[in-house]
């Protein structure tokens, strides 16, 4: 085996290692930022929202945060990876260019839409919710519609505080955090699953480029 | 007459400026080749020599015990390498031996006259970081230099396979030829071939020696391929069973090393080079696509939560834990591919392959020899 050929192939494998670890680091950093953002949402979360549809509450916010964090990070990641690949050998330039332009092909989870606008949309959602038993809010029997009206018209500070207190006491926030962690893992960072997570897509992209580069008779 | 003294000096004394260049990265060691990474020009070739066999057997035991303790053959090799340096250094009896590159000044030559070429060899192993390569299955240059070295390496690999016996038992349920008894039987046969190779040097008639060596080259082919096949089956059936696959690849590398040595002894340089290239490609096909990412995943705790500092730390720790095995994979790929690298240069200088091998076998002092290229001094100066 020609030693130069071996050295080039080893260099491509090393390139691949660097990009894979960079991708994991970028994903983890995005996830940490998304979880921090989610904490802010928890402070403002209404009891009704989190009780009725905790998964939906989490998914909307986590996915939007992850998308916001990763859009720029993946562009930088792929641009850096492309530059490093081109530096290995000028004959890899076309492959590097293809890699740099691959960011638009990444498929984010379908629910990664901007957070719901407060107002009519959430009012409509609240209207469809079942009534809350009095045992959960003694002395404050309200139907879902009443809670929704309070939200739309601007709930008082007392109501907000009461809501957050109930949530904290009920451990609801911890539950929401666990759901958030599970969402990040399942939809964004798992190494398996269908549809493919961003992690799986990035790994596959880098692997494919590395395989192509090693196969080239440079 | 030593052919090397006439044609080109075969150095036991490694120039301090070359040591310094390798240490700083200006020159790089790829397998047994020292070259300028910017231009690809080769400054010299390294070849393991007879004195390596003395401490090798005992340090390989250290390697196996470390493998047993850690479950990581690469760590075992690293531990053995560290002990080898200590043992060879102790032969030279001198604090000066351990100073390394800092002694790159006029004092070095004077010291070397006193301490002898063993000191130079130790400096070489230390400063060029080749202890692990010399200890490994790929070896340094033509890997079979005396039955002692080959036997010690075979024993080391066989013990490493026994050390992971539980994993093999699990895999052998799926893959019949990975059973411990069939593996042990193959090792017995390879040992026999090594012994026959050594006995070949004892014939008064070189023609008979060559007949024996050619037969060994042919018979060892079966074991080279069988161990490579086992490694491939292991990696296919159990993708992260790297220690088990690594041990099988070592055995394949030793078998191919025996073939190369046999052909070099027959002065069949071209065929030896062809087999070295082919076995290099065979091993690279097994480990070339395995990188730090795969090796590190074995060390990651599965329940680490994503999106946390713990996750980042776990990735860093896993990556560092995987580096010894990665280094071993890459060094072995390069070592096997460069076994016969100096033969073309030797041929230009009218030196037969067997003379090269005999010089290494008969060396009494330095554990490794250096053959400089014609423009080595220029390459070293430019680096």
Contact between A79 and A100 (Cβ < 8 Å): yes
CA distance B272 to chain A (A): 12
Q: What integer is the mean pLDDT of B12-27? A: 80
Better pLDDT: B237 or B84? B237
Which residue of B lies nearest to A10 if distances are taken between CA atoms?
A: B288
Residues of B in contact with A184 (CB under 8 A): 306-307
Residues of B in contact with A38 (CB under 8 A): none
Q: What's the predicted TM-score (pTM) here?
A: 0.79
pLDDT digits (tens, 9 = 90+) for B303-345: 888 999 999 999 999 999 999 999 999 999 999 999 999 999 9
Looking at the partner chain, which of B33, B308, B341 has a beta carbon nearest the beta carbon of A32?
A: B308
Q: How confident is the model at residue A184, as a pLDDT?
A: 93
pLDDT digits (tens, 9 = 90+) for B31-57: 999 999 999 999 999 888 887 766 565
Q: What integer is the mean pLDDT of B145-162? A: 81
Looking at the partner chain, which of B307, B330, B337 has a beta carbon nearest the beta carbon of A184?
A: B307
Q: How confident is the model at residue A96, as a pLDDT?
A: 95
- Substitution target in B273, B306, B310, B337 with the highest count of A β-carbons within 10 Å is B306
B207 and A CB contact within 8 Å: no
> Mean pLDDT of successive 10-residue segments in chain A (218 residues)?
89 96 96 93 70 84 93 94 94 94 88 48 46 40 42 51 61 88 92 89 96 85
Residues of A in contact with B281 (CB under 8 A): 1
Q: What integer is the mean pLDDT of B274-291? A: 95
CA distance A125 to chain B (A): 31
pLDDT band at B174 (very low <50, low <70, confident <90, very high): low
Euclidean distance between CA atoms A90 and A84, whole angstroms? 11
Which residue of A lies nearest to B36 if distances are taken between CA atoms?
A: A4
B62 has a pLDDT exceeding 70: no
CA distance A40 to chain B (A): 16
Q: How confident is the model at residue B178, as a pLDDT?
A: 65
Q: How confident is the model at residue B116, as a pLDDT?
A: 37
B198 has a pLDDT exceeding 50: yes
B341 and A CB contact within 8 Å: yes
| Least-confidence region, from A60-69, A164-173, B278-287, B354-363 | A164-173
Which residue of A lies nearest to B275 if distances are taken between CA atoms?
A: A1
- List Cα–Cα distances, A133 to A138, A142, A158, A188, A209, in angstroms: 9, 8, 20, 36, 57
Given an 8 Å threshold on Cβ–Cβ distance, is B30 in contact with A7?
A: yes
Residues of A in contact with B284 (CB under 8 A): 1, 6, 9
Residues of B in contact with A27 (CB under 8 A): 306
Looking at the partner chain, which of B33, B288, B341 has a beta carbon nearest the beta carbon of A13?
A: B288
Given an 8 Å threshold on Cβ–Cβ distance, is B306 in contact with A27?
A: yes
Q: How confident is the model at residue B76, as a pLDDT?
A: 54
Q: How confident is the model at residue A162, as a pLDDT?
A: 60
> How many C-beta atoms lie closer than 10 Å to residue A155's C-beta?
15
B275 and A CB contact within 8 Å: no
Looking at the partner chain, which of B281, B306, B338 has a beta carbon nearest the beta carbon of A28?
A: B306
Which residue of A lies nearest to B277 if distances are taken between CA atoms?
A: A1
Q: How confident is the model at residue B127, as a pLDDT?
A: 57
| Contacts of B271 by beta carbon, 8 Å cutoff, 6+ apart | B263
CA distance A139 to chain B (A): 41
What's the ipTM? 0.79
Given an 8 Å threshold on Cβ–Cβ distance, is A10 in contact with B308?
A: no
pLDDT digits (tens, 9 = 90+) for B229-264: 999 999 998 878 898 899 999 999 999 999 999 999
């Amino acid at each position: 085996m020609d030693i130069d050929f071996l050295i080039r192939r080893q260099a491509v494998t090393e390139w691949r290692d660097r990009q894979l670890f960079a991708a994991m680091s970028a994903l983890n950093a995005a996830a940490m930022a998304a979880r921090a953002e989610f904490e802010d949402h928890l402070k403002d979360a209404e009891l009704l929202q989190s009780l009725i549809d905790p998964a939906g509450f989490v998914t909307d916010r986590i996915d939007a945060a992850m998308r916001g964090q990763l859009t720029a990070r993946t562009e930088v990641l792929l641009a850096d990876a492309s530059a490093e690949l081109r530096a290995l050998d000028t004959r890899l330039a076309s492959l590097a260019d293809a890699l740099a332009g691959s960011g638009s092909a990444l498929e984010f989870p379908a629910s990664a839409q901007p957070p719901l606008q407060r107002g009519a949309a959430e009012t409509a959602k609240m209207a469809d919710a079942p009534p809350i038993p009095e045992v959960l809010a003694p002395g404050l029997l309200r139907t879902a519609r009443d809670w929704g009206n309070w939200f739309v018209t601007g709930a008082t500070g007392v109501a907000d505080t009461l809501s957050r207190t109930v949530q904290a006491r009920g451990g609801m926030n911890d539950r929401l955090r666990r759901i958030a962690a599970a969402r990040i893992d399942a939809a964004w960072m798992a190494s398996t699953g269908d549809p493919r997570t961003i992690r799986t897509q990035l790994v596959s992209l880098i692997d494919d480029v590395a395989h192509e580069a090693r196969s080239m008779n440079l | 007459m030593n052919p090397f003294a006439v044609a080109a000096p075969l150095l036991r004394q490694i120039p301090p400026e070359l040591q310094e260049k390798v240490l700083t990265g200006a020159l790089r060691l790829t397998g047994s080749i020292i070259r300028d990474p910017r231009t690809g020009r080769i400054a010299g070739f390294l070849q393991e020599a007879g004195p390596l066999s003395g401490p090798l057997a005992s340090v390989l035991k250290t390697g196996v015990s470390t493998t047993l303790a850690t479950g990581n053959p690469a760590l075992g090799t690293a531990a053995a390498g560290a002990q080898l340096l200590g043992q060879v250094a102790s032969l030279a009896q001198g604090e000066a031996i351990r100073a390394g590159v800092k002694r790159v000044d006029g004092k070095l030559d004077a010291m070397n006259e006193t301490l002898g070429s063993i000191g130079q060899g130790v400096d070489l192993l230390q400063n060029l970081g080749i202890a692990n390569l010399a200890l490994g299955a790929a070896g340094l240059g033509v890997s079979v230099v005396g039955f002692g070295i080959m036997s010690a390496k075979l024993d080391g690999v066989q013990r490493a396979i026994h050390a992971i016996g539980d994993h093999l038992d699990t895999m052998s349920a799926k893959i019949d030829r990975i059973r411990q008894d069939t593996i042990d039987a193959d090792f017995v046969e390879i040992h026999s071939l090594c012994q026959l190779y050594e006995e070949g040097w004892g014939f008064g008639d070189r023609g008979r020696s060559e007949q024996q060596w050619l037969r060994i080259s042919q018979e060892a082919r079966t074991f080279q391929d069988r161990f490579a096949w086992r490694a491939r089956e292991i990696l296919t059936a159990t993708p992260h069973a790297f220690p088990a696959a690594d041990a099988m690849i070592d055995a394949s590398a030793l078998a191919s090393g025996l073939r190369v040595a046999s052909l070099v002894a027959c002065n069949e340089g071209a065929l030896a080079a062809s087999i070295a290239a082919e076995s290099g490609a065979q091993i690279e096909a097994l480990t070339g696509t395995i990188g730090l990412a795969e090796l590190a995943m074995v060390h990651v705790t599965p329940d680490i939560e994503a999106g946390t500092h713990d996750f980042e730390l776990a990735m860093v720790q896993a990556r560092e834990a995987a580096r010894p095995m990665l280094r071993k994979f890459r060094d072995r790929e390069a070592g096997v591919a460069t076994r016969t690298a100096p033969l073309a240069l030797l041929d230009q200088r009218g030196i037969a392959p067997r003379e090269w091998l005999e010089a290494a076998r008969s060396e009494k002092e330095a554990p490794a020899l250096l053959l400089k290229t014609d423009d080595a001094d220029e390459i070293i100066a430019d680096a």
